[in-house]
Amino acid sequence: MTIQFNDETFRDDYSFSNSQRAKDRFPFPFHEDSYMYSINMEQHQGGPADSIYEKRFDVDEHYIAEMRDRALVLADDPLRCQSLPHMTLAGWDLLELIMISKSEDYPELFELHRDGSKWHWINKPMGIEDHFVFMDETTLPYGPMEYITRQTQGDFCVLDQREDNLWMDAGMVTTQADWSLDFDIGMNFFEWHAPVPLAHEKGIFKRALKFLLSIQQGAPARRLNWTMTVNPLLDTSPENYHKWGVQKNSLTPENLGSKQHLRVELQTFFRLPRSNGLVFPIRCYLMSFQDIMSKPKWGRRLHRVVRDLPEELATYKGFIDKRPMMLDFLAQYDDGLPTSFGVWPDDHSEPSLQK
């Protein structure tokens, strides 16, 4: 299908919006009426047609605007993109993975022509065309990881694997849910997850690490994670907390439906062939509460999940103070009817709101 790219912003006037198609394919993360951590991994081998799971790297209507926002973040703070010296090979792995995937999955948007190590890359939506020599950094305007992730939606953690652990040794992180690459760079899997409540006690990280270490070439995996964001803001970084933290106080019962967004991350995991590293793309999807309420099943369920979420999690996800106001809004869309199992909206079978 042809994608109409939005001319929109994720800052200042927040002109971001979701089309009907974007609403229909939003990755609502709750498969039942309550939420607790789980590893919830599955194979990343396609998915229903036109869903965000269908392609290896989903390209949607927000592509151009997200890349513009990334460039602004990097101009203000170059440390959002870092790669330790031993990670260059993994950067080439990532560039190759994305160029091959995008040119095969979206041939009308991206082209890759290879003649040995002479590569020719065309990115039509962004108007980029470059000839370069694969594995020769001097032939690209940036390092390989930075070059390709300036053209790909989502944050990217490029992890080195050694000593039976994963190490955050490179990344492009500009659309993060309140964590900092500059702080985490060089940390291992347990170190960078240290702030997460409850999950350590449940042994979740040990099991998750074991799973990730065994991810094989050609067998990527995926999971969803979520949090809450006031205003459609991509860059909710600790570095800029002074700018966005205060915006939480702009919520009122009247504007909550349009300002409060559910932020969902599609996290995928690919083994990188040459470096034996792992890339962990974290793709952010935003949808306002108001738009979520257009799906009766999601409206009922979101109310129940937010209401029953353990206090530690609501605190960690940064919305404990605003939870009462959220619940006042969400309760209007919960008529107490049961919901069907699974994440899909089931627009045609779920009853409309009975009140």
Active site residues: 223
Contact mark string toward another protein, 233..252, x via CB under 8 A: --------------------
CA separation (Å) from 149 to 8, 11, 159, 273?
A: 20, 20, 15, 18
Footprint of another protein on residues 47-76 (CB under 8 A)? 56
Between 198 and 219, whose beta carbon lies closer to another protein? 219
Between 253 and 273, whose beta carbon lies closer to another protein? 273
Between 176 and 275, whose beta carbon lies closer to another protein? 275
Q: Does the protein bind another protein through residue 198 (CB under 8 A)?
A: no
Interacting residue with another protein among 135, 187, 199, 204 (CB under 8 A): 135
Between 15 and 45, whose beta carbon lies closer to another protein? 45
Shortest Cβ distance from residue 39 to another protein (Å)? 15
Q: Please choose, from the candidates 278, 262, 255, 196, the residue with its C-alpha nearest in 3D space to the C-alpha of residue 224.
A: 262
Interacting residue with another protein among 67, 73, 87, 181 (CB under 8 A): 87
Whole-angstrom distance, CA of residue 323 vs CA of residue 330: 10
Whole-angstrom distance, CA of residue 34 vs CA of residue 17: 27
Cβ burial, residue 135 (10 Å; 0-12/13-18/19+): middle
Shortest Cβ distance from residue 181 to another protein (Å)? 19
Q: Does the protein bind another protein through residue 216 (CB under 8 A)?
A: yes
Q: Does the protein bind another protein through residue 206 (CB under 8 A)?
A: no
Q: Does the protein bind another protein through residue 253 (CB under 8 A)?
A: no
Instruction: For 80-125, give the DSSP string.
Output: GEEE-GGGHHHHHHHHHHHHHHHHHH-TTTEEEEEETTEEEEEETT
Q: Please choose, from the candidates 125, 149, 110, 104, the residue with its C-alpha nearest in 3D space to the C-alpha of residue 281.
A: 149
Order of strands across the sheet with 42-43? 42-43, 221-230, 260-271, 278-288, 155-162, 165-172, 81-83
Contact 171, 158 (CB under 8 A): yes
Interacting residue with another protein among 161, 237, 260, 339 (CB under 8 A): 161
Footprint of another protein on residues 255-284 (CB under 8 A)? 273-276
Q: Does the protein bind another protein through residue 163 (CB under 8 A)?
A: yes
Contact mark string toward another protein, 286..315, x via CB under 8 A: ------------------------------
Q: Does the protein bind another protein through residue 89 (CB under 8 A)?
A: yes
Between 47 and 197, whose beta carbon lies closer to another protein? 47
Between 42 and 328, whose beta carbon lies closer to another protein? 42
Residue 299, amino acid: G
Q: Which stretch binds another protein (CB under 8 A): 159-167, 251-259, 279-287, 304-312?
A: 159-167
Interacting residue with another protein among 34, 38, 40, 43 (CB under 8 A): 43
Q: Which stretch binds another protein (CB under 8 A): 31-39, 85-93, 282-290, 318-326?
A: 85-93
Interacting residue with another protein among 66, 146, 155, 160 (CB under 8 A): 160
Q: Does the protein bind another protein through residue 133 (CB under 8 A)?
A: no
Whole-angstrom distance, CA of residue 112 vs CA of residue 99: 7
Instruction: For 282-351, give the DSSP string.
Output: EEEEEEEHHHHTTSHHHHHHHHHHHHHS-HHHHHHTT-TTTHHHHHHHHHTT--S----SSSS--TTTSP
**CA 99, 105, 111, 116 torsion-angle sign:** positive
Q: Does the protein bind another protein through residue 218 (CB under 8 A)?
A: yes
φ/ψ region of 195 (left if φ > 0, alpha if ψ in -120 to 50, else beta) reads alpha
Whole-angstrom distance, CA of residue 237 vs CA of residue 95: 25
Between 135 and 343, whose beta carbon lies closer to another protein? 135
Contacting positions for another protein (CB under 8 A) = 43, 45-46, 56, 85-87, 89, 100, 104-105, 113-114, 135, 160-163, 210, 214, 216-219, 273-276
